[in-house]
Amino acid sequence: MPGPEAAAGVAGAGNRGAQDSEKRLAVLISGRGSNLKALIDACADGRVNGRIVVVISNRPSAPGLAHAREAGIPQVLIDHRRYPDREAFDRALGDSLASHQPDLVVLAGFMRVLTPGLVRRFENRMVNIHPSLLPDLRGLDTHARALAAGVAHHGASVHFVTTELDSGPVVMQARVPVCPGDTPETLAARVQAAEHRLYPAAVEMICSGRVHAASDNIWCDGQRLERPLLLDPAPETKKSCVGTTSS
């Protein structure tokens, strides 16, 4: 099996043959949708062999919905405040998702903790991006916590969603250096730039069929991964404290 760097390189490749059918992607957002925009661009230029068939938001004012409108992608609003409890909201969300028949559900800044029922409904077909090198720094405020911990490297992880928060098997990670004088804001900007390359690369690995999840493990090219794939392996050894490298 090719190493992580080779796999990441393939994930960033251009258009595949016409015989490979596009996968149907549903993207969930709550906010600005910068990762949604990265995925829209990657689908448009052939770096992801997929098509975003719907963008769903739980917030009417989510700025990211503008990205979907500009790209001509259908949008659905399911305002969580209109439902009596989390279970009722997730049932409505699940029904809406199912109606669009997605091959993959992509959480891109969707600020809701999902119920086990919804997660199981899309088991092994739902991914999330988290701003840390999982399993480190699960939960919120990861950039401030990384600085407080004094770590040399920070980053982002794409993982399959399971019933335990931020604990699903990790597909791929991107690492960035933590620089002297960093604030949570400067570190967040560096991580976000990496996310915009990482998410399309990981989603393409899944859309291409090279990566899938089963039995709490990630399989790549028919073999179980012992560790997550790494995008741009160890870029900090080449360009310390200058942000992320190009794909």
Residue type, 233: P
Is the CA virtual torsion 60, 63, 65, 66 positive or negative? positive
CB distance 24 to 103 below 8 Å: yes
CB distance 139 to 116 below 8 Å: no
Supply the residues annotated as catalytic.
Answer: 130
Per DSSP, the three-state class of 114 is: coil
H or E, element range at 227: none
Burial class (CB in 10 A: 0-12, 13-18, 19+), 141: exposed
Residue type, 83: Y
Sheet strands side by side (includes 217-220): 211-214, 217-220, 223-224
Report strand pairing: 170-177 vs 217-220: unpaired
CA distance 167 to 48: 25
